[in-house]
Amino acid sequence: MRKHIFNAGPCKLPDATLENVSSAVIELGNTGQSILEVSHRSADFQAVHDEAINLFREVLDIPADYSVLFLGGGASLQFCMIPYNFLNTRAAYVNTGTWSTAAIKEARMWGEVDVIASSEADGFTYYPPFTIPADVDYAHFTSNNTIRGTEIFTDPDSPVPLICDMSSDICSRPVDVSKYAMIYGGAQKNIGPAGVTFVIIKNDMLERVVAGRIIPTMLRYKTHVEKGSMYNTPPCVNILGVKETLKWIKSLGGLKAMEKLAITRSDMIYNELEKSKLFRPVVKEGSRSRMNIPFLLREGHEGLEKEFLDFAKSRNIVGIKGHRSVGGFRASVYNACSIEDVKALVTAMQDFAAKH
Ligand code: PMP
């Protein structure tokens, strides 16, 4: 029996992705070869790659003057590639938790970092407002904080190239891509399996690479753009997984439909947390993520943590143990998480509360 999966990433994927990737592992189309065997230089794989990129362009409405790359190395490699390529003297970063802190650490190796807003003093429990200065090389922020469960839903105005880590909310709402110089993230939450990183980069950024800096070939965006994201062997099966997931997103009505579902799912959980006598939300209203919902036991009930995890497990609910830095529980409700999955969780919370 399929479980109710609330993992933070890798996470639940659509049945269509699992079925179509499984079938391609046996045979890719009528090629007589598995997706695991086919040459990445073949027309058969090129068709998969092109379709993945075209679907991404269509679903996210990516303007023509942007390139789409599918790379290895995770979002974490982007933390280093961004400053390596673009940080000449000073960059602006917003600090909203573990992942933006990691991005800041890498940037500091290449220049000065101006932390223009931070919610650290408040345990990262809200999304701080920020204004981007004009005298920096670029500005960087994380639109959804997977661990802390905060998110912003606007595409900020910026006088400098704007770069966003959208690892955990990509394709969960329509985005005005034209406001960004670059959007990147790991695919393993909303758009596919682990092992592939997406990069959407405005082509004029390639002219902004720090002059005179020696950048290793693989770490240069230009290398990958010039080779149509096929400079080296790409993660073929993962790209197929992204293609199938984007096809599924499109078939349901695209990002407006994903946004509506995300609002429904997260409202169901937050509403329960607000009224529950046993559980409470962590994040302040106004900053609450639609993707990752950390929650705690109310005062006096903290000892029930393990019992609730076991209770949830008995109802086939997995992946709700909270991140160690927040404690308690976290429900990650990405695109493929169904309303039925959320109902199962909310009912478990209600039944458990009734027991105590
Ligand atoms: N940024 C965010 C917002 C994340 O959630 C994660 C991973 N959970 C990362 C970056 C790091 O991604 P990766 O593991 O793909 O390097």
pLDDT of residue 86: 98
Residue 294: beta bridge partners?
330
Tens digit of each residue's pLDDT (9 = 90 or more) over 236-277: 999 999 999 999 999 999 999 999 999 999 999 999 999 999
Residues with catalytic roles: 99, 165, 189
Helix ranges restricted to H, the chain:
15-26, 43-60, 74-86, 98-107, 221-226, 236-251, 254-275, 305-314, 339-355
Asked whether 72 lines ligand 1 (CB < 6 A), one says no
- Angle at CA 256, nearest 5°, toward 253 and 258? 75
DSSP state for residue 115 in the 8-state scheme: E
DSSP state for residue 254 in the 8-state scheme: H
Average pLDDT score over the chain: 97
Asked whether 75 lines ligand 1 (CB < 6 A), one says yes
Tens digit of each residue's pLDDT (9 = 90 or more) over 81-138: 999 999 999 999 999 999 999 999 999 999 999 999 999 999 999 999 999 999 999 9
Residues 1-5, mean pLDDT to the nearest whole number? 94
Per-residue pLDDT band for 156 (boundaries 50, 70, 90) equals very high
Residues 144-161, mean pLDDT to the nearest whole number? 98
Probe ligand 1: pick from 168, 291, 325, max atoms within 8 Å of CB?
168
Tens digit of each residue's pLDDT (9 = 90 or more) over 32-83: 999 999 999 999 999 999 999 999 999 999 999 999 999 999 999 999 999 9
Residues 189-196, mean pLDDT to the nearest whole number? 98
Residues 325-338, mean pLDDT to the nearest whole number? 97
Asked whether 76 lines ligand 1 (CB < 6 A), one says yes
Give the C-alpha separation, 83 to 179, whole Å: 19
Probe ligand 1: pick from 146, 292, 332, max atoms within 8 Å of CB?
146
pLDDT of residue 58: 98
- Angle at CA 258, nearest 5°, toward 254 and 261? 145
Q: Is the peptide bond before 128 cis (omega within 30 degrees of 0)?
A: no
Distances (CA, A) of 211 to 96, 159, 204, 216, 283: 30, 21, 14, 14, 42
Give the C-alpha separation, 289 to 166, whole Å: 13
Domains of the chain: residue spans and CATH = 15-251 (3.40.640.10), 254-355 (3.90.1150.10)
Give the C-alpha separation, 308 to 279, whole Å: 11
Residue nearest to atom 4 of ligand 1 (CA): 167
37 and 265 Cβ atoms separated by less than 8 Å: no
Q: Cα 152 vs. chain centroid, distance in angstroms?
A: 13
Element (H, E) at 332: strand 329-332
- Picking from 185, 127, 99, 146, the residue whose alpha carbon sits closest to that of residue 292 is 146
pTM for the structure as a whole: 0.98
Question: What's the 327 CA to ligand 1 centre distance in angstroms?
Answer: 19
Asked whether 238 lines ligand 1 (CB < 6 A), one says no
Whole-number percent of the chain with pLDDT over 70: 100
Whole-number percent of the chain with pLDDT over 90: 100
Asked whether 186 lines ligand 1 (CB < 6 A), one says yes
Question: What's the 106 CA to ligand 1 centre distance in angstroms?
Answer: 14
Give the C-alpha separation, 247 to 259, whole Å: 16
Residues 270-299, mean pLDDT to the nearest whole number? 97
Probe ligand 1: pick from 76, 78, 80, 163, max atoms within 8 Å of CB?
76
Give the C-alpha separation, 216 to 174, whole Å: 35
pLDDT of residue 331: 98
Give the C-alpha separation, 112 to 104, whole Å: 10
Please determine, for residue 1, whether its predicted confidence score (pLDDT) is greater than 90.
Answer: no
